[in-house]
């Protein structure tokens, strides 16, 4: 399972409407992997969570998965569609 697929799996379990979910992955020049997550505004609140705790947990899980594989820094961005 790729990091993009992992992010998509976690997010789908949290949101109500997975049809509006868009997850993209790209590697930046410095070797950082950027994962962009786009959801509608209602689901955005569910992903961020109270005081940003949910998104911070998602970022931690994805970063740890990267550490086990290729030890690259992961940047996770969340935006509304």
Domain ranges of the chain: 3-80
CATH of the structural domain 3-80, one choice from 3.30.300.20, 1.10.3210.10, 3.30.420.40, 3.30.70.260: 3.30.300.20
* Cβ-based burial of 58 (10 A; exposed 0-12, middle 13-18, buried ≥19): buried
In the prediction, which pLDDT does 70 show? 86
Local confidence pLDDT in tens for the 81 residues of the chain: 899 999 999 999 999 988 989 999 999 999 999 999 999 999 999 999 999 999 999 999 999 999 998 889 999 999 998
Q: Residue 14: count other Cβ atoms within 10 Å of its Cβ.
A: 15
In the prediction, which pLDDT does 60 show? 96
6 is written with which tokens? Answer: 């992992």
Q: What order do you get walking across the sheet with 33-39 strand by strand?
A: 22-27, 33-39, 74-80
């Amino acid at each position: 399972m790729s990091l993009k697929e992992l992010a998509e799996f976690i997010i789908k379990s949290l949101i109500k409407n997975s049809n509006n979910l868009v997850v993209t992955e790209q590697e930046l020049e410095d070797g950082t992997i950027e994962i962009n997550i786009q959801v509608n505004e209602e689901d955005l609140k569910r992903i961020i969570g109270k005081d940003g705790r949910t998104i911070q947990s998602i970022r931690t899980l994805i970063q740890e998965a990267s550490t086990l594989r290729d030890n690259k820094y992961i940047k996770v961005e969340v935006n509304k569609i």
